[in-house]
């Protein structure tokens, strides 16, 4: 199945000031999440950003906020975004069938959100190069579990090019320099 812009919501999970530095490859995760946020804007894909217990983990990092300044930020305490009533209401109101997940920590909040979305019959795509955990073992276990549960593991470029659908459009021309970089 293709990832389609008109069916998608990009969910950026818990990319917060006190969490990001503890992750494996944080620069890669930030770069690819920024690419996805820019592509989401160019392709009219709504985005929701979450913060897990911001009092303890701090706010969303500036690199993410500035890439998508109009995206709502939902404070949560549940590990699964779908267990948070505010998030679930906001997500459901968008009436889209595909969830594109990025963020931290892959083996906790990302995997639990994916599981909840799958239980609710959404198509779930987890962007492997835009998610992270503190350890490689946790990231690998997360990928195995997600694959077994029916989530689709994809890369940021796969998402961008499927959202675009074809070359030569204004969105394609604006995103190409970011992809080549």
Q: Which of these, 30, 51, 52, 38, lies nearest to 10 by C-alpha position?
A: 38
Do 117 and 80 contact (CB within 8 A), yes or no? no
Name the catalytic one among 14, 84, 142, 143: 14
Quick one: tokens of 149? 């549960």
Catalytic-labelled residue, pool 43, 81, 109, 142 = 109
84 is a catalytic site residue: no
**14 among known catalytic residues:** yes
Q: Is 109 a catalytic residue?
A: yes
- End-to-end, the C-alpha distance of the chain in Å comes to 28
Ramachandran angles phi, psi of 99, nearest 5°? -115, 125
Six-digit token string for 160:
């961008």
Per-position b or e across 9-45, b if 16+ CB within 10 A of its CB: bbbbbbbbeebbeebbebeebbbbbbbbbbbbbbbeb
Residue 44 CA neighbour count, 13 Å, CB half: 5
| Structure-derived torsion over alpha carbons of residues 110, 181, 62, 64, reported in degrees to the nearest 10 | -30
Residues involved in catalysis: 14, 76, 109
């Amino acid at each position: 199945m293709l990832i389609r812009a008109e069916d998608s919501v990009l969910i950026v999970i818990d990319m917060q000031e006190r969490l990001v530095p503890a992750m494996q490859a944080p620069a890669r995760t930030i770069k690819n999440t920024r690419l996805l946020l820019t592509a989401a804007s160019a392709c009219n894909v709504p985005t929701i950003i979450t913060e897990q217990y911001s009092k303890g983990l701090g706010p969303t990092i500036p690199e993410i906020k500035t890439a998508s300044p109009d995206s709502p930020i939902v404070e949560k305490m549940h590990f699964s975004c779908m267990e948070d009533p505010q998030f679930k209401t906001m997500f459901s109101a968008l009436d889209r069938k595909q969830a594109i997940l990025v963020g931290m920590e892959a083996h906790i909040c990302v995997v639990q959100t994916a599981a909840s979305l799958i239980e609710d019959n959404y198509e779930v795509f987890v962007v492997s190069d835009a998610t992270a955990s503190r350890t490689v073992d946790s990231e690998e276990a997360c990928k195995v579990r997600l694959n077994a549960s029916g989530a689709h593991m994809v890369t940021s470029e796969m998402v961008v090019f499927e959202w675009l659908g074809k070359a030569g459009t204004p969105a394609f021309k604006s995103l190409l320099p970011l992809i080549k970089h």
